[in-house]
Structure 1
Amino acid sequence: MVLASHPKSNRREPLQEVPPTPMKPPVPDCRIWIEIDDFMRMFDWSLTPTGIGRVQMELIPALLDRHGDRIRLFRLGHSAGDVRTVSHREVRALVARMRALRGDTPAKRARIRVAQALRAARRTVGRWASAAAPGGHARQFATDIRPGDLVVNFGASWENPHYAAALGALKQQHGFRFVLFVHDILPVSHPGLVSPVHAPNFARWLTAMMPLCDAILTPSRATRVILEDWLAEHGMAIPAIRPVRYGDGLVAPRRDAGIAPVCEAPYVLFVSTIEIRKNHLALVRIWKRLIEAHGRDAVPALVFAGKLGWQIADLLRELEATGRLDGKIRVVENLSDAQIQAAYDACLFTVFPSLCEGWGLPVSESLAHGKYCIASDATSIPEAGGRFCDYFPPTDEDEAYRLIERALFEPGFIEKREAVIHREFAPVPWTQTADQIVAFFGELDGRTAKASLQAAQ
């Protein structure tokens, strides 16, 4: 049985063989309001969403597809009066446009940037109009929302320094219940592995948001344990926390044989933002050892597919000094959904040596494409991969080397593992994630989660 832990906790919790908690049907009269300001702003600057943006791009349309009659969308700015409702149609159009991106060419990027600039300009004009006639959007929101409705945020609201104050004032005015999806708390549990600016901002946001939460969603049991320990350590009340598994894979366009491969030679794939937490440098050292042991021609290429992030100076120096191991390492950025799908399909297998995660999307995406993955056993990653992956401690490069070497050179090994994946792995669609979230909302049964917990005690 795989166990999860984190540096500040001695608690260890089983990550496998835990039956799902039975869920009551949702309360039919309760409206669900999704606050999507950071999600909408993402379309103004991002060509290829990753991380939380990626999750929202899959989850929000799934919620609209399955429960659209109950769902309302709105944006919250820097104050309780800065509220704007958003139509389902507008969100669907933005998501469809992003998903339709088939490849990454300079001309296509230029067209998208022009469209993003025009959209940002229209939003600015809209704000000027709102300033000229203040309160219109807020009055519409006040007319539509009802006491006891559920407001949920799936995004990165810490980017708005006034978010907690604005949400708290809005909640006090309208009497809704609030549910926050906490994807991870790595900036406070592993502060040395994130941007130095981000860690204190996130800590302030988390401290301010927790008293507003009637319930919390997490993507994994490991994240729930880490969050509960952090709340206890800081003397804060622990609301109802429900792990709800992310869906597997991308809702990508149909496979396109015309998409150029990310690498002409056989390759192993690592999909991730390129940042210190993802542990790319360990793979560079392992590939160097493989080449020394087996010869350059016998070792496949290693493809890093992801945007350049932070605290990677050592990695970049090593890649430059070695000529990317004489061309054995490839770095590809800004891949579209279709290109990522093609990259998974064509790889030998995938690797994911991350030091810590809230879930581990590339691991479950790899399995959804039928590809074996060798991954770190840190935090939530074994939940994402289950028994279909092989794991190593992220600081144990010898064990990682052994697993990768076996996969590359043991005859028939990859074929056997892929056969098990194809036969037994059941991908979780994002619509199932959406259904589980709405079912959890139904369990609140017209009361706040805090009131339910107090009654139970």
Structure 2
Amino acid sequence: MLWIDITDLLDYLGQHSRPSGIQRVVSELARTLVECAPERTRFVRRFAGPYDFETVSWRDMEVLFAEASERTVSRQVVQAAPFSPAGTGPFIPPQGLFALIREAVNMQASVFRHLNRLGENLTGRFRRAFRQSSLHSQNSLPHSASGLLLSEQARPGDVFLVPGSPWNFADYARTVRWLRDSRRMTFGLLIHDMIPVFNPEWCDRGVIANFTIWHRTVLPLADHVFTTSAATARDVQKYARQERMSLLSEPAPIGIGAPLPRSAPASDRPTRLPPPDSYVLFVSTLEARKNHIQMVRVWRRLMEERGAAHVPTLVFAGRVGWLVQDLMQQLDGMNWLDGKIRHIASPTDRELASLYDGCLFTVFPSLAEGWGLPVSESLASGKPCLASGTTAIPEAGGSFARYFDPDNAGDIFRIISETLDDPQALVAWKDRIRRTYRPPQWQDCAHRILERTGCSQP
């Protein structure tokens, strides 16, 4: 049996309106693992201490994913940039305060639930055993009930997989040792990137500390190490050498699929989106590493040299993240280049698909990535992508994307100008993508995990 820890995914969706990169990967991978091995895939969440995990019904997860995919967000809420007053310590924006309050309530609820479990009597055990027997008769494990204890469900030889980012649990190494030593299970880990280790300047200090401590204690215990890309696999090996750490498993790249739903008919295009063929699209959380500031400089130069009427709108699609206070203040100060830059905050899946469908092309100038999901999504939508040529991004774009140096505004300006100046070549590029590009499939990613862990169904 493959047990998948989705604690951090549920926590994230409880605190944010829409899933971001890692959460989208985890949700799509979870969905595909169920499709590929329905009788061997189960999900769990942590509810209290390092040994306290309970099952989560796949049906419950499907409902949650569906709600999150179409949940709309107020622009006023997500576009406000957090400001940290000097000398007052770390600033927590209002939405962060609500998240902390919610987390405190959840923690208290978890404590009470844990006490109830400790005091569980024979009647409760009989009731759960009866429910388990009933579920077994249905012969459909992915639809089993939530709330069963992992300690009573798992068997020796089962596999426990962490596909997300539970780095806030500093005691996770205790969980892994309990799984391996007491439950006789094997432990698998999917690493999306090593950016907080090798590029800490682009990360929040808390993330750097949590990420570093977590991987230093957990990675040496992993029986199976998966990565999203070959570039990330090399970074994991580099980190292991740097820490003089012996890995139990050679990092195995699984790739990333292109989880893009079919768009609605043009007549149903969401009203808050710009008209088709009037804009260039940049899909990403707004944070320093994604390099939005470079695109602002390029767009301002395009307007100076060509005139606003001859420059398409640049659309930023994503929520506001960290380390972009200066960027947001500059954009407000320049009136978002008089409307030539627009922000579509936290687009729904339907809006995102429509944005891809209607754009001239996409840009992705990120300074470092573990894969580059927007590049794959752009190509899967039949739209050309001009992207950074660094880290794992060329693995996502292959020969179908065109690359630039993300640190060189002149290089970005040149490639974008050439693309705008030759509309016939752009049409031919789109046609080539639509005829010959084969999007990476989530089924391939799932099969690599199932085969490596021995959980493939006969």
Same fold (TM over 0.5): yes
The aligned runs of 1:117-156 (5 Å cut-off) are 125=109, 128-134=112-118, 140-156=149-165
Contact residue 188 and residue 199 of structure 1 kept, 8 A = yes
CA offsets 1:399-421 (integer angstroms, 9 cap, x no match): 11111001111131210110110
Give 2:59's aligned residue: 89
**2:233 is the counterpart of 1:248:** no
Give 1:233's aligned residue: 242
- Say which of 328, 333, 346 aligns to 1:316: 328
Contact residue 2 and residue 455 of structure 2 kept, 8 A = no
CA offsets 1:284-325 (integer angstroms, 9 cap, x no match): 111111111111110011011111111113312321232111
CA offsets 1:420-443 (integer angstroms, 9 cap, x no match): 100110112323322222122239
Give 1:23's aligned residue: none
**2:271 is the counterpart of 1:260:** yes
CA distance in structure 1 between the aligned counterparts of 2:69 and 2:54, rounded to whole angstroms: 25
The aligned runs of 1:234-383 (5 Å cut-off) are 234-238=243-247, 239-251=249-261, 257-258=267-268, 259-264=270-275, 266-383=278-395
1:139–1:374 Cα change, 3 Å? closer
Which residue identity does 1:130 align to in structure 2?
H
Which residue identity does 2:419 align to in structure 1?
A
SS at match of 1:33: strand
SS at match of 1:216: strand
Deviation at 1:93, TM superposition (A): 2.2
Which residue identity does 1:72 align to in structure 2?
R
1:179–1:134 Cα change, 3 Å? same
1:164–1:257 Cα change, 3 Å? farther
- Say which of 219, 229, 232 aligns to 1:223: 232
- Say which of 4, 9, 17 aligns to 1:39: 9
CA offsets 1:225-269 (integer angstroms, 9 cap, x no match): 011011011100132211001111324675574222522371100
Deviation at 1:44, TM superposition (A): 1.8
Structure 1 stretches lacking a partner, 5+ long = 1-30, 110-116, 446-457
SS at match of 1:157: coil
Structure 2 stretches lacking a partner, 5+ long = 79-100, 121-127, 129-146
The aligned runs of 1:61-100 (5 Å cut-off) are 61-77=31-47, 79-100=49-70
SS at match of 1:205: helix
CA distance in structure 2 between the aligned counterparts of 1:88 and 1:411, rounded to whole angstroms: 46
Which residue identity does 1:244 align to in structure 2?
I
SS at match of 1:403: helix
Deviation at 1:330, TM superposition (A): 0.6
CA distance in structure 2 between the aligned counterparts of 1:372 and 1:402, rounded to whole angstroms: 16
The aligned runs of 1:112-191 (5 Å cut-off) are 125=109, 128-134=112-118, 140-191=149-200
TM-score calculated relative to the size of structure 1:
0.82
Contact residue 48 and residue 111 of structure 2 kept, 8 A = no
CA distance in structure 2 between the aligned counterparts of 1:257 and 1:148, rounded to whole angstroms: 53
Deviation at 1:161, TM superposition (A): 2.4
Deviation at 1:38, TM superposition (A): 1.0
Flag the structure with more relative contact order, 1 or 2, with Cα contacts below 8 A and sequence separation at least 6.
1
**2:452 is the counterpart of 1:440:** yes
Contact residue 270 and residue 302 of structure 1 kept, 8 A = yes
CA distance in structure 2 between the aligned counterparts of 1:279 and 1:189, rounded to whole angstroms: 17
CA distance in structure 1 between the aligned counterparts of 2:109 and 2:266, rounded to whole angstroms: 39
> RMSD value over aligned CA atoms?
2.7
- Count of aligned residue pairs for this structure pair: 406
Contact residue 447 and residue 456 of structure 2 kept, 8 A = no
Aligned identity (percent) is 35
Which residue identity does 2:162 align to in structure 1?
N
1:209–1:400 Cα change, 3 Å? same
Give 2:412's aligned residue: 400
SS at match of 1:248: coil
1:434–1:360 Cα change, 3 Å? same
CA distance in structure 2 between the aligned counterparts of 1:170 and 1:443, rounded to whole angstroms: 17
Deviation at 1:92, TM superposition (A): 2.0
Contact residue 214 and residue 240 of structure 1 kept, 8 A = no
CA distance in structure 1 between the aligned counterparts of 2:228 and 2:346, rounded to whole angstroms: 25
SS at match of 1:69: coil
1:256–1:126 Cα change, 3 Å? farther
- The runs of 4+ residues in structure 1 deviating greater than 3 Å are 103-106, 117-127, 135-140, 251-257
Give 2:219's aligned residue: 210
Which residue identity does 1:362 align to in structure 2?
P
CA distance in structure 2 between the aligned counterparts of 1:104 and 1:307, rounded to whole angstroms: 9
CA distance in structure 2 between the aligned counterparts of 1:89 and 1:326, rounded to whole angstroms: 46
CA distance in structure 2 between the aligned counterparts of 1:286 and 1:105, rounded to whole angstroms: 28
